A and B are shown apart, each in its own frame.
Chain A
């Protein structure tokens, strides 16, 4: 009997990979190994709708389809190492799993603050269901919430916390929130909208330490001031879950470098035919934009890359892999929707609507559109999507 396809990572990417293998005709054994105790669930609501309500696995779990009923799901099991030459992975219990093909779907984990007085209660991350359950408990009216990081997650938590009646301050090193993806003008406008909702920004500022004995009581900043804090939310980015891949001569500089077909590449340029990388970790060239290998950490990418990897594995892939990156974020009544890779732009301009209301921005590199983002006006944003097909 041949060895199973082993998928390491049991989040959305791992689930979609198992489903896609079945859809494209693979009938052999599949093992999915994930370190979280839960069956795959949808993460975006954790910083938005779900955080505003009671948080439960049931509310966010993906539907289990009949096609994957015979998959061997191993939850709560961390993979420790892999030996690609011998085609095995070893889990934390010392059990060895030989594979016919390996799918890397371990994604990212939250980066946390490193401070001298760090052993305190009241520190939160926002990535897993358990994170959201713990944070939800503390977002009570009047709670003084300090969010470190002004990316999408930090801003979504800020909006949710304001709705729940918390007092909210955002601390971040940049000039405006979400500036790197959105560009200065739209980012400044989003800051104004957050301020109008009562959020305080301490931009161009970093956290130097925490104040408190058992629980967080305050946050010390590099301008010498201290702000009071009951609930600290650390939304400062992520680390790659790639330690288990070390020692295999892969290019792990950021994510895992792959071919356009999502096969892992050795540092020598040689390709592993039976090792695929999907989701946030896949650093692949996308011919829509150029030949540069890039990661795309958007929600639609695990599903797109899983489908492609399954097509390649089963011999059903046609043409180049050209997924259109897409993201959205909801903050109060501001519904942002974007296509493309906004951060590639050397020029950003308003192309429809009014900056003070609903509006659409175009993102251009050397005069070519590389991204589009709107507040509202979804039909207009969707029309520009055709530029990337």
Chain B
């Protein structure tokens, strides 16, 4: 399992992460980011791609 953290003070809800790791990140009906705090190891490369495309660099994998 991997643990995912999003710094919600940085996050501006651009939703770019949604397309890289759709099983982890989504925008809700109010256009706010929601994410699952843990994911299977197989999601690691998708979450890393989401980290790269986050304009605010708000996402981390907690090691």
Q: Which residues of A contact B (CB under 8 A)?
A: 16, 19, 42, 44-45, 62-63, 299-300, 303, 326, 328, 330, 335, 337, 376-379, 382, 385
Contact = CB atoms under 8 A, between A and B. Distances in A.
A382 B27 contact: yes
A44 B15 contact: no
A155 to B, nearest CB: 17
Contacts of A45: 56
Nearest to A306: B52
A379 B29 contact: yes
Nearest to A335: B12
Contacts, number: 37
B55 A44 contact: yes
B30 to A, nearest CB: 9
Contacts of B18: 382
A378 B12 CA distance: 11
B14 A300 contact: no
B46 interface: no
A377 B15 CA distance: 12
Interface string B1-26: 00000000000111110110000000
Given A63-B57, A326-B16, A330-B12, A376 B31 contact: yes
**What 6 A-B pairs come out closest when comparing CB atoms?**
A378-B31, A303-B52, A379-B27, A328-B14, A378-B15, A42-B57
Contacts of A328: 14, 55
Contact residues on B (Cβ < 8 Å of other chain), bracket: 10 to 19
A153 to B, nearest CB: 15
Interface string B51-62: 011011100100
Given A42-B57, A62-B57, A63-B57, A378 B13 contact: yes
A376 B13 CA distance: 10
Contacts of B19: 385
A303 B57 CA distance: 13
Given A42-B57, A62-B57, A379 B52 contact: no
Given A330-B12, A378-B15, A378-B27, 12 more contacts: A16-B52, A19-B52, A42-B55, A62-B57, A326-B16, A328-B14, A328-B55, A335-B13, A379-B15, A382-B15, A382-B18, A382-B27
Contacts of A382: 15, 18, 27
Given A62-B57, A63-B57, A378 B14 contact: yes
A300 B53 contact: yes
A328 to B, nearest CB: 6
Contacts of A42: 55, 57
Contacts of A385: 19
A337 B16 CA distance: 10
